[in-house]
């Protein structure tokens, strides 16, 4: 895990090494200052020449300034390294998620992925910062201070034999007790973020059903659980301070009492005032180092849980990958389903699709009709290989979809969903997702064909109108038409409309379909619809039922041969037969 996370340091390795260098230098200087101070105090007591005292004083000032500079530089380089590490780690996680298939994404909720890229990365960043700075400085200060204390204090150093084990054991137990509460917080963060995400997306529904108070109570409940866990953990961690103070005061009293006694009895020959002063300073350095090590222990243990959650994302392997020698060109828009069966999970007991055999020629307009949950969307998602078939094969342009480079295949297929997404930015920027190099004239032409030009022109800023996140400042029908225009700009080999004209009237729907024939005549057009009127002029209409193809044919044929199709048609036309032939 550490090896994988270390890869995210990359271009910030120099900053890490500089931090370590200056931290070591600062620790060495810090431990020498009390030694020189003690010598200065003893010299003052002996009454040495002022010139000698000035030299020692200047040396102390220089060492203090150098130590301060080392600490400042280390702080700067540490901040640069840790911030850069966090940036790279977020980019690595985001880049990994972009490679996921729907199978992979189904394992993680979107709220969980957000938490991992924000809270978890922040925890790992803090731990990384403490490791390269405090986790290096504190052990060095502890070791150097103990050595110098024994060199200067002799028998007086016995105090540390008592204090260090007591403080170390106490801090270790405090950290161990606090960890379960910290671990429990992360999954609750996921649920909290999920509640926020659901409410932001479903604000209209919440207000429509007057459920604001219920949602506030639900959110408050999740927030209360996090508060309770943090309170429990922080109450335990708060014991660090009184334990530290007890050990510190014991150390001070022991050194002052025993040191004073030894100084008086030896007449300053064994231990003098300067030595006692140095022992107090070294004692403080030792105790503070132990205190910082306890904080490091708590932080690293807590961030370990975050690191594990991050590694789950980074170690997740995409189930769909490119073949060894991929094909980089799709010949045409022909689609052949050969004995295709599909289920979303290996554990699923029932197939979403069973025994599908279809032959769609390039340039055809194909309609797909069927009730909710019969597998219409599952069928078309297999064409751009958003999922892989469980059995059988699918050929696009005469070749198995598994032979294609994924980007090539998906670049040749444009999908417009019923709930398609617009991104934050201008209408132009959204449209150019279909073709980054499209001219303004091409944007206008595509919008005219998608029946979007009129309403876009009615906006004060026209095509420069800003779209809010999720397209919340345009209606459902306007959003669908913009998404259709975006797909048209792609000029794909295959265009899939998954109930994507459900929010427009029948006249606009007919005009859009007429635009397809004019703008992309050679493109294979697959239209999933609930309205018979949207598909009755198609070259081929597929009727689906319970994950299977129930019937295929043209409108007039299906009225005679398919009971399901005829029933839907009669319901929508109140039994009329004015369009019975076609």
CB 41 within 8 Å of CB 273:
yes
Buried-exposed string 505-516: b where 16+ CB fall within 10 A, e elsewhere: eeebbbebbebb
Helix (H) or strand (E) holding 315: helix 273-315
pLDDT of residue 582: 35
For residues 189 and 202, give the distance between their C-alpha atoms in angstroms, rounded to a whole number. 20
Phi, psi for 494 (deg, rounded to 5): -135, 130
pLDDT of residue 194: 73
Q: Which residues contact 319 (CB under 8 A, 6 or more apart)?
A: 101, 103, 104, 388
Q: What is the pLDDT along the chain (582 residues), one digit of tens a residue?
A: 788 888 899 999 999 999 999 999 988 888 888 777 777 777 776 666 777 778 878 888 898 899 899 999 999 999 999 999 999 999 999 998 888 877 777 777 777 788 888 888 998 998 899 888 888 888 888 788 777 777 766 666 666 777 778 877 887 787 777 777 776 776 677 777 777 777 766 776 777 777 788 888 888 888 888 888 778 777 887 787 787 778 777 777 877 777 777 777 766 666 767 777 777 777 777 777 777 777 777 777 778 878 888 998 998 888 788 888 999 999 999 999 999 999 887 777 889 999 999 999 999 999 999 888 888 989 999 999 988 899 999 999 999 999 999 989 988 999 887 677 888 889 999 999 888 889 999 999 999 988 999 999 999 999 999 988 767 788 888 888 898 899 888 888 999 998 877 777 888 888 888 888 877 888 999 999 888 888 988 999 999 999 999 999 999 999 999 999 999 898 888 654 444 333
CB 358 within 8 Å of CB 541:
no
Indicate left, alpha or beta for 211 from its phi (over 0: left) and psi (-120 to 50: alpha): alpha
This prediction's pTM: 0.69
3-state helix, strand, coil in the chain (%, to 5): 65, 10, 25
266 burial (CB, 10 Å; 0-12 / 13-18 / 19+) is exposed
CB atoms within 10 A of CB 445: 18
For residues 11 and 346, give the distance between their C-alpha atoms in angstroms, rounded to a whole number. 42
pLDDT of residue 357: 95
Q: Is the dihedral of CA 87, 90, 95, 98 positive or negative?
A: negative
pLDDT of residue 246: 81
Q: Is the dihedral of CA 446, 450, 451, 457 positive or negative?
A: negative
pLDDT of residue 269: 67
For residues 377 and 393, give the distance between their C-alpha atoms in angstroms, rounded to a whole number. 17
Buried-exposed string 118-132: b where 16+ CB fall within 10 A, e elsewhere: ebbbebbbbbbbbbb
Candidates 126, 100, 125; CA nearest to 113 is 100
Candidates 268, 297, 258; CA nearest to 176 is 297
Q: Which residues contact 297 (CB under 8 A, 6 or more apart)?
A: 171, 172, 175
């Amino acid at each position: 895990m550490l090896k994988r996370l270390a890869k995210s340091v990359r271009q910030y390795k120099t900053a890490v090494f500089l931090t370590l260098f200056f931290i070591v230098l600062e620790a060495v200087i810090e431990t020498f200052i009390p030694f020189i101070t003690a010598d200065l105090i003893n010299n003052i007591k002996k009454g040495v020449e002022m010139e000698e005292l000035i030299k020692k004083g200047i040396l102390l000032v220089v060492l203090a300034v150098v130590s301060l500079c080392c600490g400042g530089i280390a702080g700067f380089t540490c901040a640069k390294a840790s911030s850069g590490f966090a940036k790279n780690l977020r980019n690595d996680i985001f880049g990994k998620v972009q490679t996921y298939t729907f199978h992979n994404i189904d394992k993680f909720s979107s709220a969980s992925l957000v938490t991992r890229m924000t809270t978890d990365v922040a925890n790992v960043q803090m731990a990384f910062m403490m490791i390269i700075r405090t986790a290096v400085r504190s052990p060095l200060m502890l070791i150097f201070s103990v050595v110098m204390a024994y060199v200067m204090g002799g028998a007086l150093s016995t105090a540390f034999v008592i204090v260090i084990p007591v403080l170390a054991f106490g801090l270790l137990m405090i950290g161990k007790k606090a960890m379960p509460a910290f671990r429990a917080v992360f999954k609750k963060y996921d649920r909290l973020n999920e509640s926020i995400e659901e409410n932001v997306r479903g604000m209209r529904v919440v207000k429509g059903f007057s459920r604001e108070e219920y949602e506030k109570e639900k959110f408050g409940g999740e927030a209360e659980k996090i508060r309770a866990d943090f309170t429990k953990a922080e109450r335990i961690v708060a014991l660090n301070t009184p334990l530290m103070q007890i050990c510190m005061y014991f150390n001070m009293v022991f050194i002052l009492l025993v040191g004073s006694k030894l100084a008086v009895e030896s007449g300053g020959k064994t231990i003098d005032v300067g030595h006692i002063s140095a022992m107090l300073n070294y004692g403080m350095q030792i105790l503070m180092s132990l205190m910082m090590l306890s904080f490091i222990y708590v932080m690293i243990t807590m961030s370990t849980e975050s690191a594990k959650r991050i590694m789950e994302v980074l170690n997740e392997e995409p189930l769909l990958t490119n073949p060894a020698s991929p094909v980089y060109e799709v010949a045409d828009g022909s689609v052949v389903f050969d004995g295709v069966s599909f289920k979303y999970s290996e554990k699923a007991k029932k197939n979403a699709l069973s025994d599908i055999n279809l032959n769609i020629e390039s340039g055809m307009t194909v309609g797909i009709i069927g009730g909710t949950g019969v597998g219409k969307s599952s069928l078309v998602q297999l064409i751009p290989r958003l999922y892989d078939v469980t059995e059988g094969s699918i050929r696009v342009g005469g070749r198995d979809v598994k032979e294609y480079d994924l980007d090539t295949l998906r670049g040749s297929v444009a999908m417009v969903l019923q709930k398609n997404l617009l991104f934050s930015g201008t209408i132009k920027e959204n449209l150019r997702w279909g073709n980054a190099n499209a001219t303004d004239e091409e944007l206008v032409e595509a919008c005219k064909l998608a029946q979007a030009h009129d309403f876009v022109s009615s906006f004060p800023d026209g095509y420069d109108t800003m779209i809010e996140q999720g397209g919340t400042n345009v209606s459902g029908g306007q959003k669908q038409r913009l998404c259709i225009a975006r797909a048209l700009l792609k000029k794909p080999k295959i265009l899939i409309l998954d109930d994507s004209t459900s929010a427009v009237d029948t006249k606009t729907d007919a005009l859009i379909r007429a635009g397809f024939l004019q703008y992309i005549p050679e493109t294979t057009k697959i239209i999933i619809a609930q309205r018979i009127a949207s598909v009755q002029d198609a070259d081929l209409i597929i009727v689906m039922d319970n994950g299977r193809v129930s019937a295929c044919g043209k409108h007039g044929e299906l009225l005679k041969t398919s009971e399901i199709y005829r029933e839907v048609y009669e319901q929508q036309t109140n039994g009329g037969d004015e369009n019975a032939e076609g």
